[in-house]
Amino acid sequence: MSVPINELITRFQKELDATTKKGHPEPTAMTLSTVSEAGAPTSRVVLLKAFDHRGFVFYTNLTSRKSKEISLNPQVCINFMWHNISKQIRIEGRAQQVSNEEADAYFATRAKQSQIGAWASKQSSEIEGKMDFEKRIAKYTLKFAASKVPRPEFWSGFRIVPTKFEFWQKRDFRLHERHVFTPTDEQNWQEVCLYP
Ligand SMILES: Cc1cc2nc3c(=O)[nH]c(=O)nc-3n(C[C@H](O)[C@H](O)[C@H](O)COP(=O)(O)O)c2cc1C
């Protein structure tokens, strides 16, 4: 069966709504995997902030380990595990930095303390002195006390442009369903089912 990308996005939205409605505490949390230059994988959780037919967006510090790995190899994988509806969704794709305008618009929606946190955190770098982080928070709190906080240049988002979707559904006796979609052309995605 062949389906357009919008149908896959609608399906994702439907499952996200279902897990949210059933009380998932963090439905947009996704495990993001990247690989080092040497090909070693690593994973961490980030939050999905936007998605549509173009892909799945999260925000982060551009000097972080994940961002450095993405700059060397943009192939990534995100995984959602929604226990309360017995579903897992895996999306493989290529990460592309979002435009400055898109990142600015999202940054502006964040709480002021989170915006200051973005300035203060040298994400993934070692904290050398005991109070260094606190000092940096105090510094930027003072700096932006009377003004709006602009987005730091070293903070932005990535859009994961999907190349593969897998919708996994738990079934009794481990006879789970796996529906995998890969693009056949710009418009159409082909479905295959895999053994569990
Ligand atoms: C529920 C949850 C949500 C998180 N969301 C984000 C996020 O959206 N962006 C981010 O950079 N880090 C987020 N983190 C922190 C990351 O998991 C990770 O510790 C951090 O980004 C550094 O990762 P790295 O050193 O591999 O780059 C989140 C952690 C948790 C547990």
Nearest residue to 92 via CA among 42, 165, 43:
165
> For residue 177, what pLDDT is reported?
97
User: CA–CA separation, 130 vs 137, rounded Å?
Assistant: 13
Vertex 167: Cα angle to 71 and 64 (nearest 5): 20
Q: For 55-113, write each residue's pLDDT tens digit.
A: 999 999 999 999 999 999 999 999 999 999 999 999 999 999 999 999 999 999 999 99
Q: Please tell me which residue in 11, 65, 151, 174 is annotated as part of the active site.
A: 174
- Residue 141 is predicted with a pLDDT of 98
> What's the gap in Å between 45 CA and the centre of ligand 1?
5
In the residue annotation, 44 being an active-site residue is answered as no
- pLDDT tens track for 110-146: 999 999 999 999 999 999 988 999 999 999 999 999 9
Fold of 2-35+42-108+155-194: Pnp Oxidase; Chain A (2.30.110)
With a Cβ cut-off of 6 Å, ligand 1 is lined by 26, 29, 44-47, 58-60, 64-66, 123-124
What are the residue ranges of CATH 2.30.110.10 in the chain? 2-35+42-108+155-194
Spatial CA neighbour of 179 closest among 192, 188, 195, 163: 192
Report the residue among 48, 60, 72 best suited for mutation to probe ligand 1: largest number of ligand atoms under 8 A from its CB. Answer: 60
Q: Helix, strand, or coil here: 28?
A: coil
**How many residues in total does the chain contain?**
196
Is residue 187's pLDDT more than 90?
no
Q: What is the pLDDT of residue 130?
A: 85
